[in-house]
Chain A
Amino acid sequence: MSTADPKGAQAHARAQGGTRVEAMPTLPAPDGLIWEETIACGGYATRRLSRGARLKLTDVAGDACVSMLVFNAEMPTERLNVADTAKVQWSAYLGAGKLLLSDMGRALASILEDGAETHDLFCGASSEASNAARYGDGANFGAHPNARDRFLLGVAKHGLGRRDVHPCVNLFKAVRIAADGATVFEGGPFRPGRSLTLRAEMELIVVLANCPHVIDPRPAWTVTPVKAQAWRGPITPTDDSIRNGAPEALRAFLNVEDYFAR
């Protein structure tokens, strides 16, 4: 097909339409969904989610590592606070029934279902420097993209910048804490198809980066795709078991409900 003139170039471009690859969004989203996208190895995605929406992440092939930022979409200076998430819930580990807490004492999201139970609040995003140290280079445009630079791109698309790339959670790869404080990596690979479902408790921006975990010891840059699916759901009712599961959780929900009293 000639691309020597505009009509030829147009035909060449249009002939590419309809191509299917593993890592791509599905448009329109399948029935019942508001978002479906498979995020590439080393890729990223970002989405605005409404209060009540469900977000399901599936580790399709068993070796995904999803680093996640979460913002209040109405006021992005409010964002995930990993220290408060651990401290307020008296727990080093995420799992079903746990909350992702903002720095304003509110529940950003609840974990409705967790078929993985291997997550990490402590080690954060890989960076160009950490990837360069392990793989020889870590530049975004190269063969070993890093989560922090993926975050920079994700937040930029909401008008946010370097100051907004806050401490993150890592999903699907675990860091356990030994008695002496040592970080013990539990990185699989795991069985394919493990999933995690979150419920948005506020209007959210989520930014997902799928890059090898920062302390993954494998010498080769290794990660597999992750599928994101979202659907609409009801706002959490006052008799919800997660809301009422702990006094700290209840007060986090009371603060959310107070915020939305307008």
Chain B
Amino acid sequence: MSATVLHDEIVPARAPWTQTLYAGQTLRIVDLEGNQAVDFLVYAADDDAERYDAQATIAAQGNLFLRTGSILRSNEGRSMMTVAATNVDYHDTIGGACSCESNTLRYGHHTKSQHACVENFLVGNARFGRGKRDMVSNINWFMNVPVEPDGTLGIVDGISAPGLFVDLKAEMDLVVVVSNCPQINNPCNGFNPTPVRMIVTGP
């Protein structure tokens, strides 16, 4: 990247992270240690009832997977961000975020007190006055959710590796809300949540 680095930060394992991005800036997310799911929501800065819409994104591109060239669409059908580059084959946007509540269904009630992505999203969004109504289906960068021919789907071993990244170009002014996924009951983080690096560049 030859553009000016505006922000460079390591997000600890299990932590939330928020960042305002202006149109034209690029966010690079680096999977430092490999196969670390980065749960991701994005809101329009000037009207946060406009937000990432996984279904509109899938419908418009005709494919579940996010790859280089994918356009992240809002619930108003507008282009919010473009996947400018990634060296991971594909990323997920159907798996949603882990929550304390859904963990009880997936693994049992013994997981109720474990930290979860929805907790991070709620904390990150609370800074901006947003709450539970503002939670929608998210993106999971570096997470692998294949769908079998009979419809069976699941979070399986990742296809990322240490140092791989995704570059996201802001097409409008945005607020990004991230949960560096703390899940330890499935392979989305290789059963070992790790830090990720966030680099914002601008022209």
Contacts and interface: CB of A to CB of B under 8 A. Distances in A.
Interface stretch (A28-36, A81-89, A195-203): A81-89
Nearest to A82: B137
A105 B96 contact: no
A122 B145 CA distance: 13
Contacts of A255: 101, 104-105
B155 interface: yes
A45 interface: no
Given A82-B137, A105-B101, A251 B108 contact: yes
Nearest to A185: B62
A50 interface: no
A167 interface: yes
Contacts of B135: 103
Contacts of B105: 84, 88, 101, 105, 248, 251-252, 255
B31 interface: no
Interface in A201-249: 214-215, 248
Interface in A154-188: 161-168, 177, 179-183
Contacts of A62: none
A233 to B, nearest CB: 24
Contacts of A104: 101
A153 interface: no
B192 interface: no
| Chain B binding surface SS class | loop
Contacts, number: 143
B151 A87 contact: no
Interface string B76-119: 11100000000000100011110111111110110000000010
Nearest to B148: A92
Interface residues of A, number: 48
Contacts of B64: 122, 177, 181-183
Contacts of A84: 96, 99, 102, 105
B173 interface: no
Interface string B144-155: 010101011111
Interface in B137-170: 137-138, 145, 147, 149, 151-155
Interface in B59-79: 59-60, 62-65, 75-78
Given A91-B151, A163-B134, A181-B64, A130 B49 contact: no
Interface in A115-166: 121-125, 127-130, 133, 148, 161-166
Interface of B: 49, 53-56, 58-60, 62-65, 75-78, 90, 94-97, 99-106, 108-109, 118, 131-138, 145, 147, 149, 151-155
Given A87-B96, A125-B55, 12 more contacts: A90-B154, A91-B153, A103-B135, A123-B59, A124-B56, A130-B60, A163-B49, A167-B53, A181-B147, A214-B56, A251-B104, A255-B101
Contacts of B108: 251
A93 interface: yes
23 contacts: A82-B96, A83-B95, A84-B96, A101-B102, A103-B101, A105-B101, A105-B103, A105-B104, A124-B58, A125-B55, A127-B75, A127-B77, A128-B76, A129-B77, A162-B75, A163-B49, A167-B55, A179-B149, A182-B62, A182-B63, A248-B106, A251-B109, A255-B101
A123 B152 contact: no
Contacts of A3: none
B152 A90 contact: yes
